[in-house]
Structure 1
Amino acid sequence: MKTVSIREAQDRLDELAQDVEQGETVTVTRDGKPVFDIVPHKKRGGIDWEAGQAYLRARGIANPVPYIADDFDDPLPEDFLLKPLPEK
């Protein structure tokens, strides 16, 4: 890990960026005290669907998605909400 002052970091930013690209962390200081680190960028990961399915299968859940009928999102009949409730 490399440590540089803010003034030095301003003057050598391109060189420090190359060091960070190689995986090194650079600590920038003010008056000898650490202020911030320049670190290599990490790609953000998404959801690992395969790992999630493997986790569920290991616990006996073969199909985590329940059955959804083909007509699930079809429009309801026009009189659906106008019908009286059934007698008890």
Structure 2
Amino acid sequence: MKTVSLREAQDRLDELAQDVEQGETVTVTRDGKPVFDIVPHTEVSNPVEKKGGIDWEAGQAYLRSKGITNPFPYIADDFDDPLPEDFLLRPLP
């Protein structure tokens, strides 16, 4: 692993990129303290492995298995309307 200062990294970015392409990791420092690493990019051969986020189908299947068919049975039409001013000015109990 190679360590370089931020100023040196700015001046030698092309050379450092070539080192990283060869598989080396470069640590960039500021005032002697590590700030970030330049690491080789790894390719994912199977895009399914990289999938993230929420699996909505699995969530719905779980709810159905627990007997919940509609988790949000009712949302009022005025749900996102502004609150009345007298409610907002009323002191808390």
Q: Name the TM tier (shorter chain).
A: 0.3 to 0.5
User: What is the CA–CA distance in structure 1 between the aligned matches of 2:88 and 2:12, rounded to whole Å?
Assistant: 71
User: Taking structure 1 as reference, are residues 12 and 84 closer, same or farther at Cα in structure 2, changes over 3 Å only?
Assistant: closer
Unaligned runs of 5+ in 1: none
Task: Please report how far the alpha carbon of residue 27 of structure 1 lies from its aligned counterpart in structure 2 after TM superposition.
Answer: 0.0
Task: Please report how far the alpha carbon of residue 28 of structure 1 lies from its aligned counterpart in structure 2 after TM superposition.
Answer: 0.1
Instruction: Identify the range of structure 1 (23-32 vs 77-86) with the bigger mean alpha-carbon deviation.
Output: 77-86
Instruction: Identify the range of structure 1 (41-50 vs 59-68) with the bigger mean alpha-carbon deviation.
Output: 59-68
Task: Please report how far the alpha carbon of residue 33 of structure 1 lies from its aligned counterpart in structure 2 after TM superposition.
Answer: 0.2
Q: How well do the aligned residues superpose, as a CA RMSD in angstroms?
A: 7.6
Please list the CA deviations of residues 24-69 of structure 1 after superposition, one character each: whole Å capped at 9, or x if unmatched: 0000000000000000009999999999999999999999999999
Task: Please report how far the alpha carbon of residue 14 of structure 1 lies from its aligned counterpart in structure 2 after TM superposition.
Answer: 0.1
Instruction: Identify the range of structure 1 (17-26 vs 42-51) with the bigger mean alpha-carbon deviation.
Output: 42-51
User: What is the CA–CA distance in structure 2 between the aligned matches of 1:18 and 1:30, rounded to whole Å?
Assistant: 22
Identity of aligned residues (%): 91
Structure 1 segments, 4+ long, off by >6 Å, are 42-86
Instruction: Identify the range of structure 1 (8-17 vs 62-71) with the bigger mean alpha-carbon deviation.
Output: 62-71
Match of 1:56 in 2: 63
User: What is the CA–CA distance in structure 1 between the aligned matches of 2:5 and 2:92, rounded to whole Å?
Assistant: 77
Unaligned runs of 5+ in 2: 42-48
Superposition map of 1:5-84 within 5 A: 5-41=5-41
Q: Which has the larger radius of gyration?
A: 1
Task: Please report how far the alpha carbon of residue 19 of structure 1 lies from its aligned counterpart in structure 2 after TM superposition.
Answer: 0.1
Match of 1:3 in 2: 3
